[in-house]
Amino acid sequence: MFGPTPLVLSSANPNNLPALGSPARRDPSKAKPRAGRRRITEKDRRRIVELYERGVSSRAVASEVGLSKATVLNVLKSEHVVRRPPGQSCCAN
């Protein structure tokens, strides 16, 4: 009487449902680009490095180029640019 409660499984198990819109069935010509993502061009990379080396903050560079601050910092790292300490401009005494 006080034993384990029987487990009732529904016949509509999500693991058994057919995959709707699976990649094999989608028309690639109708694919939408992922929202908020774009490739960073060489021109973008040069602009990021140029602005940063002129003393513009990484946040201002991100705003100017239209990318996130994290992306700007990743570009600077991949381009081997020496980063300034947070809050310090290049020309501070």
**59 pLDDT higher than 90:** yes
- CA distances from residue 17 to 11, 13, 53, 72, 93 in whole angstroms, order as listed: 10, 7, 55, 43, 66
Is residue 23 assigned to a domain? no
In 3D space, the residue among 51, 50, 49 whose CA is nearest the CA of residue 80 turns out to be: 49
Domain assignment present for 16: no
Output the pLDDT for position 88. Answer: 74
Query: Where are any strands of DSSP class E within the chain?
Result: none
Residue 24 belongs to a domain: no
Nearest Cα residue to 72 out of 81, 24, 15: 81
pTM given for the model: 0.58
Residue 93: per-residue pLDDT? 53
pLDDT tens digits, 16-32: 655 655 555 666 667 66
Residue 22 domain-assigned (yes or no): no
Number of domains in the chain: 1
Which CATH number covers residue 53?
1.10.10
